């Protein structure tokens, strides 16, 4: 199927990139096809795309055989997306709205779905946290394929004893596998952002037994709230936490960034009991 070049679609619909909406568009169809391959074979799979904009990534997902539901806030993009829907009859549903205010599970009618999105930094991080904190586990989403600034992507996949390791890494890794799938040069975007980007791929794992997510969140908040301090100081504000660390044989002279994800999970389990 031949689709008009994305630059022509943008020009015809007057879609100048809005800074307020964090719009940096991707036009390179080879790159878009590579991103659409990150989640694996999408033929016949349901995909939730957030922030399709003029539809570059959307057309790559449709070409891969996915059934796409897309949430877009900028109504200027809707006619271009409607045109794309006509080229793939019955395969694209577009919902106008703010993805932060929409219940994705209901929108996807309770069925499993893969998430694929190239979003502004703040919205992408807020949605990632929401998907990772899903009360239902395994979650309704089967994978997350998300574009971030490289620095944020590195914080998601970070290993202990690195400066990027923090709350986001623990939240991402305690019951999912998170990988940096590919780096994307800033020049691939129109307009180019100031920094480099990367695609992160997240898949759910089995959740460790006996740990409440809210407790893990409290532990990481306390520990990384004062990341330069020793645990015996940073965990002071959380009742029982210093004693729990000692009972687990975790040296409280250590700093938060030296603990493994498993050690954070053990601490949270102890405090959840």
Give the footprint of ligand SAM on this chain (CB under 6 A): 21-26, 50-53, 56-57, 71-74, 77, 98-100, 118-120, 123
To ligand SAM, the closest distance from the beta carbon of 33 in angstroms equals: 13
Instruction: Tell me how far, at minimum, the Cβ of 77 lies from ligand SAM, in Å.
Output: 6
- Least separation in angstroms between residue 39's CB and ligand SAM is 15
Give dist(CA 193, CA 208) in Å, integer.
38
Angle, helices 56-63 vs 29-37, to 10°: value is 60
Shortest Å distance, C-beta 158 to ligand SAM: 23
Residue whose CB is less far from ligand SAM, 24 or 145: 24
Q: What is the dihedral of CA 206, 128, 187, 3, to 10 degrees?
A: 90
Least distance in angstroms from the C-beta of 95 to ligand SAM? 9
Which residues 6+ apart lie within 8 Å of 123 measured at CB? Answer: 22, 50, 51, 99, 100
Q: Of 119 and 267, which CB lies nearer to ligand SAM in the complex structure? A: 119
Q: Which is nearer to ligand SAM, 118 or 173 (CB)?
A: 118
Give me the least distance between CB of 47 and ligand SAM, in Å please. Answer: 12
123 vs 270 by CB, closer to ligand SAM? 123
Minimum distance from residue 67 beta carbon to ligand SAM (Å):
17
Please, which contacts does 131-136 make with residues 24 or more away whose CB atoms are closer than 8 Å? 131/202, 132/171, 132/172, 132/176, 132/202, 133/171, 133/213, 133/217, 135/213, 136/105
Residue 266 · residue 209 · CB < 8 Å: no
Specify the residue, 23 or 220, whose C-beta has the smaller distance to ligand SAM: 23
Q: Which residue is nearest to ligand SAM (CB)?
A: 51
CB of 155 to ligand SAM, least distance (A): 19
In terms of CB distance, is 38 or 169 closer to ligand SAM?
38
Question: Which is nearer to ligand SAM, 23 or 173 (by Cβ)?
Answer: 23
Nearer to ligand SAM (CB atom), residue 49 or residue 257: 49
Collect all residues with Cβ–Cβ distance below 8 Å to 2 and sequence separation of at least 6. Answer: none
């Amino acid at each position: 199927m031949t689709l008009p070049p994305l630059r022509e679609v943008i020009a015809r619909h007057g879609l100048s990139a809005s800074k307020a909406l964090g719009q940096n568009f991707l036009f390179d169809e080879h790159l878009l096809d590579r991103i659409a391959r990150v989640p694996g074979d999408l033929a016949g799979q349901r995909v939730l795309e957030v922030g399709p904009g003029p539809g570059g990534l959307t057309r790559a997902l449709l070409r891969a055989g996915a059934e796409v539901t897309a949430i877009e806030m900028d109504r200027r993009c809707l006619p271009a997306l409607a045109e794309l829907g006509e080229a793939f009859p019955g395969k694209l549903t577009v919902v106008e709205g703010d993805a932060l205010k929409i219940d994705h599970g209901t929108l996807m009618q309770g069925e499993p779905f893969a998430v694929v999105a190239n979003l502004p930094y703040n919205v992408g991080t807020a949605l990632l946290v929401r998907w990772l904190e899903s009360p239902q586990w395994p979650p309704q989403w089967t994978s997350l394929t998300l574009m971030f600034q490289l620095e944020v992507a590195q914080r998601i996949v970070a290993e202990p004893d690195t400066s990027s390791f923090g709350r986001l890494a623990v939240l991402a890794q305690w019951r999912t596998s998170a990988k940096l799938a590919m780096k994307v040069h800033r020049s691939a975007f129109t307009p180019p952002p100031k920094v480099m980007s990367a695609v992160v791929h997240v898949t759910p794992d089995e959740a460790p037994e006996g740990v409440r997510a809210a407790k893990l969140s409290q532990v990481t908040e306390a520990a990384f709230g004062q990341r330069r301090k020793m645990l015996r100081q940073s965990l002071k504000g959380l009742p029982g936490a210093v004693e729990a660390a000692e009972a687990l044989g975790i040296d409280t002279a250590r700093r938060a960034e030296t603990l493994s994800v498993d050690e954070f999970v053990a601490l949270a389990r102890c405090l959840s009991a």
